[in-house]
């Protein structure tokens, strides 16, 4: 007997491998899958504006990168001792104006130079509710706890999303006709919107993605992260303590289903060879001054060198430099 509603996923004509250039935008699913991809040495750029939740904010961020319109001092606002950007997550905020702007601009520059060469985009929509700054009419990605009267909160329609994203997808396909765009809907409920309002919001996102897939065919694919969490993992033991976010075991399960869907046996082989090295790199010794630990570091470095020689298209510069630094200190 089967005691769960298993979500079958059809195998798409998309092969994600370690040479695939990827960019991920959106809410927490993009962050979580992006972390897994990065840990396993995939070529990814994850949320260059930080976490964004609604389709218009995500579209605005991507279009700004495509237009290479960087940020200036006039784009920053100051509140509660911090400088912010309304298009960026609070992770970019900083008490020093120059540091805030430098963090935003350096991240923007790297992503702007990459976006036109990207093979696969992973887009996660979190909510159909958006905020517009009344003073300028601009869509904001984060209100940064400014007074509510500064913004107009509204719910996007299916046509709003389809119209906005049709233009963006058409442009991406013009740049790269073989581009693939993977859509997901975040399984995290926006409870502050209300139980019913959250369901309506998620339904709008699903319907919009469905219409876009009808319009653009093979360039688009939907990965059912929402359905897996809501139906296949329909139990509070798969949630974090707040009962809204997925637990770590749920994230790992979604990662497994993602791998089954998009990775070839050759890609899985590389992951299996990298994992022991990753575990060794993450090991923290209780006695780092010992000769035994130095020997362990030397062995790890040798394995890393072998991995680099076998897979020269995978960058291991950061890990090599980190190990070399430790060996000089020990």
What is the per-residue pLDDT across 256-311, written as a single tens digit (0 to 9) for each? 999 999 999 999 999 999 999 999 999 988 888 899 999 999 999 999 999 999 99
pLDDT-derived band at 329, boundaries 50, 70, 90: low
Question: Which pLDDT band holds residue 97 (cuts at 50, 70, 90)?
Answer: very high
Average pLDDT over residues 246-257: 92
Give the domain extent around 236. 21-263
Map residue 202 onto helix, strand or coil: helix
Examine residue 8 and state whether it is found in any structural domain, yes or no.
Answer: no
Residue 33 resides in a domain:
yes
Residue 156: pLDDT above 90? yes
Q: Which residues pair with 25 in a beta bridge?
A: 123
Please tell me whether residues 215 and 186 are part of one structural domain. Answer: yes
CA dist 183 and 238 (Å) reads 22
pLDDT score for 219: 94
226 with 291, same domain: the answer is no
**110, 170: one domain:** yes
Q: What is the pLDDT of residue 289?
A: 85
Q: Are 213 and 180 in contact (CB under 8 A)?
A: no
Q: Are residues 110 and 163 in the same domain?
A: yes
Domains in the chain: how many in total?
2
Inside any domain, residue 203: yes
**Structure tokens of 82?**
């911090």
Residue 223 has φ and ψ, to the nearest 5°, of -100, 125
User: What's the confidence (pLDDT) of residue 20?
Assistant: 97
Q: Which of 219, 234, 263 is the last residue of a domain?
A: 263
pLDDT for 139 equals: 95
For the segment 32-51, what is each residue's pLDDT rounded down to a tens digit? 999 999 999 999 999 999 99
Could you give the dihedral angle defined by the CA atoms of residues 238, 181, 261 and 255, in that order, rounded to the nearest 10 degrees? -30
Domain boundary among 263, 288, 306: 263
Asked if 330 and 293 count as a contact pair (C-beta separation under 8 A), the reply is: yes
Asked if residue 2 is part of any domain, the answer here is no
Do 137 and 227 belong together in one domain?
Answer: yes
In a domain, 124, yes or no: yes
Of 263, 280, 312, the residue at which a domain comes to its end is 263
Q: Which residues contact 112 (CB under 8 A, 6 or more apart)?
A: 65, 66, 68, 70
Element housing 90 (H / E): none
Let me know whether 181 and 291 are in one domain: no
CATH assignment at residue 238: 3.40.50.1110
Q: At what angle do helices 248-262 and 28-39 cross, to 10 degrees?
A: 70
pLDDT tens for 187-239 read 988 888 888 999 999 999 999 999 999 999 889 999 999 999 998 888 777 77
Residue 258 backbone class (left: φ over 0; alpha: ψ -120 to 50; beta: rest):
alpha
Predicted model pTM: 0.93
**Cβ neighbours of 303 (radius 10 Å):** 16
Q: Are residues 55 and 159 in the same domain?
A: yes
Provide the sign of the torsion angle of the four alpha carbons 257, 236, 249, 202, taken in this order. positive
d(CA 280, CA 307): 14
pLDDT of residue 190: 85
- Judgement on whether residues 259 and 171 belong to the same structural domain of the protein: yes
- Return the structure tokens found at 1: 């007997």
Distance of CA 213 to the CA centre of its chain: 21
Q: What is the pLDDT at residue 202?
A: 96
């Amino acid at each position: 007997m089967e005691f769960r509603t298993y979500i079958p996923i059809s195998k798409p004509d998309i092969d994600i491998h370690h040479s695939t250039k990827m960019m991920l935008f959106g809410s927490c699913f993009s962050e979580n899958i992006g972390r897994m991809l990065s840990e396993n040495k995939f070529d990814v750029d994850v949320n260059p504006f930080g976490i964004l939740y609604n389709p218009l904010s995500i579209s605005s961020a991507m279009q700004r990168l495509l237009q290479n319109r960087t940020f200036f001092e006039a784009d920053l606002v100051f509140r509660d001792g911090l400088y912010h950007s309304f298009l960026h997550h609070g992770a970019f905020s900083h008490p020093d104006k120059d540091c805030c702007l430098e963090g935003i601009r350096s991240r923007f520059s790297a992503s702007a130079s990459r976006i036109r060469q990207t093979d696969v985009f992973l887009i996660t929509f979190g909510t159909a509710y958006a905020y517009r700054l009344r003073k300028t009419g601009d869509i904001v990605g984060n209100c940064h706890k400014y007074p509510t009267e500064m913004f107009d909160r509204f719910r996007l329609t299916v046509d709003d999303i389809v119209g906005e994203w049709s233009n963006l997808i058409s442009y991406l396909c013009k740049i790269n006709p073989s581009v693939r765009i993977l859509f997901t809907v975040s399984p995290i409920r926006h409870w502050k919107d209300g139980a019913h309002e959250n369901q309506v919001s998620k339904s709008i996102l699903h319907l919009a993605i469905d219409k876009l897939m009808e319009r653009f065919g093979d360039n688009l694919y939907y990965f059912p992260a929402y359905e897996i969490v809501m139906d296949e993992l329909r139990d509070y033991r798969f949630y974090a303590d707040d009962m809204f976010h997925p637990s770590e075991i749920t994230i790992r399960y979604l990662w497994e289903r993602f791998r089954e869907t998009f990775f070839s046996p050759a890609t899985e082989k590389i992951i299996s060879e990298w994992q022991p090295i990753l575990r060794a790199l993450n090991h923290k010794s209780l006695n780092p001054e010992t000769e035994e630990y130095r020997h362990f570091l030397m062995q790890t470095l040798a394995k890393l060198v072998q991995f680099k020689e076998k897979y020269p298209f995978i960058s291991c510069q950061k890990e090599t430099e980190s190990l070399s630094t430790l060996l000089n200190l020990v």
